[in-house]
């Protein structure tokens, strides 16, 4: 075992003495050492209940014959960080989490790992760390939040808080109604209720095979989640004994399965950042072309918020990810999973309890999957949109550019009622390098929808969007403006053409005119010149490559 490096031999007397100081017995030194990487924090509702899950995982590890060691990783709540400078740290924290897992697991020679996680960048960060180390590991996502209630009406975070800001500005709701929504929308522990990034990545993780069946959708408040925690602890010890490491699960075929499930669900566009980044650590090539090609042949069979009707609790009661896999069974690769069951075994054993929440392919909500990748003169290396959350009337759009060099200036214009119908709001210098950190733009997109402009205004950015975004909002524009991509050359009044069915994003300006603008373009000074974000900006790659870090 890996842990033999610190438990065996004459030279390891000091290490053993320190291990005994933690409370271990002599017989414990012959057992698998299992790390529990926990993102528990009092700051995030998706994580406040993790203490009980940590205990359940510990019990499972001990029952399986291992020894458990808890260590922490940082967590950022994107909802709390949204709309201000704090959001710059969210994507950067993904790679920081992978580094922390590498450091702790490698320094202490742990044999296996249970990754207790829930929110947006934490789940992919943990998977990146496990893939990099290639050790046995299981992910336990801590579960979605139940819906809020106002009378008989179900409430959720994005629709009833972020979009409510625009509705209040428009005068549709009172101060009292707004106060009620912000108090009742999030009733307790769990990741935000819709198919936003946290729940998207939980579903992707289960579809890859790195979580036990039904883990992704099982509710934060459920006893089933406690049982899954216990079983995850038990099973990781078995993986160690059998030598089943992360890269044996996270194969090219497993990533293709995960993308297919993601497209069938209509998940967050952030998956197009995270799946390639995880695959990169696993030594597998996944790019935007693969995501788009799988989406083009995968029907969208669920109608999940923000663009649809249902919440994660509805998906859970309908059968969860195994039921979605059952619908796709004929197209999925038969891959190994951490449960010991194969993908096809899980899919065939699943039950579908609601034919509308998880539809048959021939009755799909849309013929294509949730995400489309657009190329063109404005996005030579690609841009990403959640097409399942765009109305049929806005699938093709021609508008006049209104350009902003930051999210804050764009948000001020939106809230000041300066954005008119027929506008394409361009927000640039918010990419991985320019942001730095590629901030999510949920505040402006939700405000536009709340103010009734979701059917007449588009938004294009080199930043990214929350999984809660709906409407014609195009992100991840690559190359980004900070490195001189075409987005840096857009001027107020330029005509921009969006054609989602044809996968096009173009600026109606001649090549000659763009060349003249490029010759005069001067890169802006970096917004951050010290600390983590300064280092991040120097090492991060483009969004179309997953915004992974490279050494310069």
Q: Which residues are catalytic?
A: 466
Phi, then psi, of 156 in degrees rounded to 5: -140, 160
CB atoms within 10 A of CB 484: 13
CB atoms within 10 A of CB 421: 10
Sequence-distant (6+) residues with CB within 8 A of 45 are 77, 145, 186, 188, 189, 190, 191
DSSP lists the bridge partners of residue 307 as none
Find out whether 120 is annotated in a ligand binding site.
yes
> b/e map of 356-392 (b: 16 or more CB within 10 Å)?
ebbbeeeebbbebbbbbbbbbbbbebbbbbbbbbbee
Find out whether 78 is annotated in a ligand binding site.
yes
Phi, then psi, of 548 in degrees rounded to 5: -80, 165
Find out whether 121 is annotated in a ligand binding site.
yes
Number of H helices, E strands in the chain: 22, 14
Q: For residue 179, give Cα distances in angstroms to 228, 332, 390, 425, 448.
A: 36, 46, 29, 29, 20
DSSP lists the bridge partners of residue 427 as 404, 461
* 517 burial level (CB within 10 Å; 0-12, 13-18, 19+): middle
Find out whether 287 is annotated in a ligand binding site.
no
Rg of the chain in Å (alpha carbons): 23
CA dihedral 136, 142, 144, 145 (to 10 degrees): 180
280 vs 285: CA distance, rounded Å: 6
44 vs 80: CA distance, rounded Å: 9
408 vs 385: CA distance, rounded Å: 22
Place of tokens 């954005």: 419
Going by the annotation, the residues of the binding site for Mg(2+) are 78, 120-121, 440
Going by the annotation, the residues of the binding site are 78, 120-121, 440
């Amino acid at each position: 075992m890996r842990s033999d490096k610190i438990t065996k031999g004459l030279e390891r007397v000091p290490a053993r003495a320190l291990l005994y100081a933690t409370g271990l017995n002599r017989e414990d030194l012959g057992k698998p050492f299992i790390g529990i990487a926990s993102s528990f924090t009092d700051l995030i509702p998706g994580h406040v209940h993790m203490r009980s899950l940590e205990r359940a995982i510990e019990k499972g590890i001990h029952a399986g014959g291992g020894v458990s060691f808890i260590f922490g990783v940082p967590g950022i709540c994107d909802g709390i960080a949204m709309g201000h400078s704090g959001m710059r740290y969210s994507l950067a924290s993904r790679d920081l989490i992978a580094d922390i897992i590498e450091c702790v697991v490698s320094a202490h020679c742990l044999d296996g790992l249970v990754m207790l996680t829930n929110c947006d960048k934490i789940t992919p960060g943990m998977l990146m760390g496990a893939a990099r180390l290639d050790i046995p590991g299981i992910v336990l996502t801590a579960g979605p939040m139940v819906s809020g209630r106002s009378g008989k009406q179900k409430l959720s975070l994005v629709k009833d808080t972020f979009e409510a800001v625009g509705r209040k500005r428009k005068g549709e709701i009172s101060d009292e109604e707004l106060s009620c929504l912000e108090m009742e929308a999030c009733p307790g522990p769990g990741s935000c209720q819709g198919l936003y990034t946290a729940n998207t990545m939980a579903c992707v993780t289960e579809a890859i095979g790195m979580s036990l069946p039904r883990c992704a959708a099982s509710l934060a408040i459920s006893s089933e989640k406690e049982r899954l925690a216990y079983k995850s602890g038990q099973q990781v010890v078995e993986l160690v004994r059998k030598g089943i490491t992360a890269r044996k699960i996270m194969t090219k075929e497993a990533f293709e399965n995960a993308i297919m499930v993601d497209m069938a669900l209509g998940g967050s566009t952030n998956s197009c950042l995270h799946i390639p980044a995880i695959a990169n650590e696993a030594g597998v090539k996944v790019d935007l072309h693969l995501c788009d090609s799988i989406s083009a042949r995968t029907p969208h069979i669920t109608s999940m918020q923000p663009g649809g009707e249902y919440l994660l609790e509805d998906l859970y009661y309908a059968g969860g990810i195994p039921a979605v896999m059952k619908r796709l069974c004929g197209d999925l690769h038969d891959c190994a999973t951490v449960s010991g069951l194969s993908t096809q075994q899980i899919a065939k054993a699943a039950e579908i309890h609601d034919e509308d929440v998880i539809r048959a392919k021939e009755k799909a909500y849309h013929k294509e999957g949730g995400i489309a990748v657009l190329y063109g003169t404005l996005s030579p290396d690609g841009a990403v949109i959640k097409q399942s959350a765009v109305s049929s009337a806005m699938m093709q759009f021609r508008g006049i550019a209104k350009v902003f060099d930051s999210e804050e200036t764009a948000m001020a214009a939106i809230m000041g009622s300066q954005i008119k119908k027929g506008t394409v709001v361009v927000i640039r210098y918010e990419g991985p390098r320019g942001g730095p950190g590629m901030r999510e733009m949920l505040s402006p997109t939700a405000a536009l929808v709340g103010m009734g402009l979701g059917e007449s205004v588009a938004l294009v950015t080199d930043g990214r969007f929350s999984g809660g975004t709906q409407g014609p909002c195009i992100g991840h524009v690559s190359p980004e403006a900070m490195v001189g991509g075409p987005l840096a050359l857009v001027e107020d009044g330029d005509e921009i053409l969006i054609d989602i069915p044809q996968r096009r994003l173009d600026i109606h300006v001649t090549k000659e005119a763009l060349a003249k603008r490029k010759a005069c373009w001067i890169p802006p000074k970096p917004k951050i010149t010290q600390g983590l974000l300064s280092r991040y900006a120097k090492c991060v790659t483009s969004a179309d490559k997953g915004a992974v870090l490279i050494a310069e």
